[in-house]
Amino acid sequence: MVTMDSGALDAARLLAEHRLPGIVVTDRSGHPTAVLPASQVVRFIVPGYVQDDPSLAGVLNESMADRCADKLGDKKVRDVLREHLRDVPTVDAGDTIVEVAATMARHRSPLLAVMKDGELQGVITASRLLAAALKH
């Protein structure tokens, strides 16, 4: 479980190790409170001047790249999250593939929290949704 007080570096490792597009951040009781997309973590560690002018990335050496990731070391998930990401799109465990796809498209989210009786059951990613839709 990843909460707002979890370490940002731990969350980034979870994203990387499991090749996730994002993770659902929960409160201490397990209720979803935010989505942390992997792209947001990347935005946080890449210097703003490089984001503004990607050609500058070519002049950075690998040790500079390593130091970029160090920016996460003492940060919490709450430090990395932007305010607009603090709304978790949810679907019901009984929703159809089309209902889930419509919710994902409407929210432009790489993942959705799957709820049943007000409890978080899991997460569905866009790639898993596509895999399920293409089976039919």
pLDDT digits (tens, 9 = 90+) for 22-44: 999 999 888 899 989 998 898 88
Q: What is the pLDDT of residue 113?
A: 94
Could you tell me the pTM of the whole model? Answer: 0.79
Residues 22, 110 contacting (CB under 8 angstroms)? yes
Query: Picking from 31-45, 48-62, 69-83, 96-110, which range would have the lowest pLDDT averaged per residue?
Result: 48-62
Would you say residue 50 has pLDDT above 70? yes
**Phi/psi at 91 (5° precision):** -130, 160
Q: What is the pLDDT of residue 44?
A: 87
Would you say residue 4 has pLDDT above 90? yes
Cα 118 versus chain centre, distance: 21
> Where do the domains of the chain lie, and which CATH numbers do they carry?
1-88 (3.10.580.10), 89-136 (3.10.580.10)
Q: What is the pLDDT of residue 2?
A: 94
**Phi/psi at 63 (5° precision):** -65, -35
Which of 60, 79, 81 lies closest to 71, judged by CA? 79
Amino acid at 132: A
**Phi/psi at 129 (5° precision):** -65, -45
Planar angle of CA 51, 80, 19, nearest 5 degrees: 80
pLDDT bracket for residue 84 (50, 70, 90):
low
DSSP letter assigned to residue 7:
B
